[in-house]
Structure 1
Amino acid sequence: MMEEKLYTINEIIKDAGIARSTFDKFAEANNLRPVKTEKRGKKLYSLKDKEFVVSHYVSGKGKEEKEKFTNHKAERHDEVVDLLREQVQQLKRANEQLVHDNDILTDQLKVKDNQIAAAHQLTDQAQKLHLGLEKQVKALTGDADKPVVDGESSDINSSNNQQKPTDEPMGTKKATRKSWWHIF
């Protein structure tokens, strides 16, 4: 007598295209019992049980049930897709705003760069005019032989060194103050 071929749970769920948890729930709901259980707990089912499970899920009768037990609901996917589309739109709007703000700031920087360049040019012109005027003053006063240092003649520096203003009123004698270190 020929022995009937037995099928493991893994073989059945592979042919039915379902998850293990779906099979367990289906087997409990339909009172499917293994024909044989091996020493290590491996359950084996008959060909009749296998065909019952496979036909239920492949023929479409168990498709809704399959989605219920495996959490693959079509409406849930649609909700997720809609949410993701909304987030993509929000990110696009935020990106457009950032690009717009960046353009404004770039334009402002260009204007400031032009203002700085104009200020440098005016400063250079002022320095050149000052130097030219100083040379004309020297030529008119006859001090053309004295060198000009950084736009100032050396006689201006020496006259500034000779006349140092004091904080004392006229006619008062300067009191000599000694530091407290002088006591020691």
Structure 2
Amino acid sequence: MAAVTWVCPIGGCPVRQGRPGSCPDDLVQLVRERTEPEEPVADPAPGAAGEGDAAPPTGLALDCPWGQLIDIPAEDLEIGRSSPAFRGRGIDPYDQVSRVHARLSWQHGRLTVVDLDSANGTYVDGVKLIPGEPAVLRPGQQLRLGLDVPCKIVQLNEFGEPV
């Protein structure tokens, strides 16, 4: 079994260590570095159920600024002021979030976000997304809805707690 190395997800940061934690330079959660080459995953035969999709990983959540932790399910999750995940849970004072703002989904085993043509934009680590085009999300990254709702993508342990 190969040793696990934890690295800062911010490009160019040199922080690497042998245990999980946070980067003292960038104040973000460290992510696990892949030490073994990834084996290619064969797509199922055309017409097969779930064509081209790997099983979604589990254990990721959205850490919202009002203290809510939203588990990211295997099926699509639309987020915004009118979404069941946000409604009545602290989103009300944030007026830059559209009713249906963005969609989180799993594509080929990776978590992606798509801006649903929101009024004030969706950002990943400060970069504005092009509406309708998916962007990959990883633990430690910040997903911002409009200019006033920064949510962090967090990895959860086996007890459902952020690591």
TM-score (norm 1): 0.16
- Relative CO higher for 1 or 2, CA cutoff 8 Å, sep ≥ 6? 2
Higher helix share: 1
Q: In terms of Rg, which structure is larger?
A: 1
